[in-house]
Amino acid sequence: MQALTSRQQDDVVTTLQDLQQTLLSKLAAVDGSALPQFRSWERSGGGGGTMGVLRGTVVEKAGVNVSSVFGSDYREDAFAARGEQGEDFFATGLSTITHMYNPHAPIGHMNVRLFNVGERLWFGGGADLTPFLPYAEDTQDFHQSLRVHCEQFDRDYYPRFAAWCDQYFFIPHRQQVRGVGGIFFDKLRGDFSRNLAFIVGVVTAYSEVYPRIIARRKDLAFTEALKEEQLYWRGRYAEFNLIYDEGTKFGLKSGGDVEAIFVSLPPVVKW
């Protein structure tokens, strides 16, 4: 696979930006009290992105970011130190994490990404649900939406990617899987148009099912004691993102915007 043309890169980024707007609009609609705020950033080594944030009375904090970075300092193990020779690369992606005010409403996470390093090109991403108070109806709805989408491309995708999700989001020091799962995939190679359609579909499926789950739980009654428990439970989410998450590591190593990277963290959390 040859390196993408500038036109292809621009088309992918534009597609992700459109999906960013759609998802934020859906989250704003289910919240009903706030509109998204946007901030653009630039990377000194090449590229940048746009951070979209929604803070309301239902959605305590939602971050939906699009980034597009490029340069000549990529290595498989880490980004090359200053002065070391790396490879030409282009990377773009969309990521979102939403923390809900109501303890009955789950944290939602989704990201998709494209890497082009030299002549190597691959896609990755996933989506998972992390409820403080799990509901079987929500878990089934979330997984079924992802299953239906995956099976349109390959019947092996869903079982393989669902198992991969549970493995990836395992928190070793807690000896627990984060949440109720979803899908996770990486190094997806092959036909460019087909794989691009697959990740677009992941975003679309998530943008439909997650706001539906929020709407189902956002008005349920809860006590202050339950809210306090939720804040302590959120600590486990923060621990994973800070210690293990590959997206966080990539953002920091590649010189991404720190505020955009850490928008994934809960707005209020306790230990």
Q: Tokens representing 27?
A: 């989250």
In the beta sheet, which residues pair with residue 70? 90
Structure tokens at 34: 């706030």
108: its two tokens: 């939602």
Helix segments in the chain, DSSP class H? 6-31, 136-151, 157-168, 192-217, 224-243, 246-253, 258-261
195/199 Cα distance (integer angstroms): 6
HSE (side-chain half, CA atoms, 13 Å) at 213: 32
Contact partners, residue 81, CB within 8 Å, separation at least 6: none
Helix, strand or coil for residue 97? Answer: strand
Q: Does residue 173 have an active-site annotation? A: no
Burial of 238 (0-12, 13-18, 19+ CB in 10 A): middle
Catalytic residue among 104, 109, 143, 149: 109
What whole-number distance in Å separates Cα of residue 233 and Cα of residue 268?
Answer: 11
Q: Which residues are catalytic?
A: 109
